[in-house]
């Protein structure tokens, strides 16, 4: 994938460590991460994250992971360019904090299935999961991956309901079936 190529470029340049990344000119960093898209914007944001990691946590991920989730989330959201999805992805995947990540795939699928109950904000959807699932990092990690797979392969912008594992409970699929009944042979 494009992200994997960008990470490979960073590895080849020995620039995966925050201290090393900060020594690069922003243009050099942008060139390394170019395959990931929006590379000029991302280069500046990566440098901001690296400064935060060094200034607040001395680039010690174990120390950082030991801090309270709420505190870390607030700190991450204060960094230019980091929104709720990115902050929660860092918390869940990098620091192993039990936080459910809401992305466009999840929002779209929940809306079509009818499980969002009209709730569309990031916080409302996240609360739906956090209030109804055990606080378990591995579960949130796997569950988010399942929603991503559903969104990538079935609940796309133009849905592919055939073969969708949630087709039988999906309001969108049901309305589609009602509007497009099978043609008799």
Residue range(s) occupied by CATH 1.10.340.30 in the chain: 1-59
Average pLDDT, the chain: 92
Across residues 53-74, what is the average pLDDT?
A: 96
Domain covering 99-185, topology: Endonuclease Iii, domain 2 (1.10.1670)
Q: According to the model, what pLDDT value does residue 116 have?
A: 76
The DSSP annotation for the chain comes to: -HHHHHHHHHHHTT--SHHHHHHS-HHHHHHHTGGGSSHHHHHHHHHHHHHHHHHHHTT-HHHHHTS-HHHHHHHHHTSTT--HHHHHHIIIIIT--------HHHHHHHHHHT-STT--SHHHHHHHHHHHS---HHHHHHHHHHHHHHHHHTSSSS---TT-TTGGG-HHHHHHHHHSPPPP-
Give the tens place of pLDDT for each residue, 71-113.
Answer: 999 999 999 989 999 999 999 999 999 999 999 999 999 999 9
- pTM confidence score: 0.85
In the CATH scheme, what is the homologous superfamily, with its name and number, of domain 1-59? Hypothetical protein; domain 2 (1.10.340.30)
Q: According to the model, what pLDDT value does residue 120 have?
A: 78
Across residues 140-162, what is the average pLDDT?
A: 94
Q: According to the model, what pLDDT value does residue 66 have?
A: 96
């Amino acid at each position: 994938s494009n992200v994997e190529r960008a990470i490979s470029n960073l590895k080849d340049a020995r620039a995966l460590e925050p201290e090393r990344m900060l020594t690069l000119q922003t243009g050099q960093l942008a060139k390394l991460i170019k395959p990931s898209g929006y590379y000029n914007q991302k280069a500046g944001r990566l440098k901001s994250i690296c400064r935060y990691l060094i200034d607040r946590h001395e680039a010690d991920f174990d120390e950082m992971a030991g801090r309270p989730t709420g505190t870390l989330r607030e700190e991450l959201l204060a960094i230019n360019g980091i929104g709720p999805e990115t902050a929660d992805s860092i918390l869940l995947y990098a620091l192993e904090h039990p936080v459910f990540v809401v992305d466009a795939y999840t929002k779209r699928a929940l809306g079509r299935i009818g499980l969002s109950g009209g709730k569309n904000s990031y916080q409302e959807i996240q609360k739906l999961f956090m209030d109804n699932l055990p606080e378990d990092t591995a579960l949130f990690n796997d569950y988010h991956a399942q929603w991503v797979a559903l969104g990538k392969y079935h609940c796309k912008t133009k849905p592919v309901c055939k073969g969708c594992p949630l087709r039988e409970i999906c309001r969108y699929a049901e309305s589609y079936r009602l509007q497009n009944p099978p043609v008799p042979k």
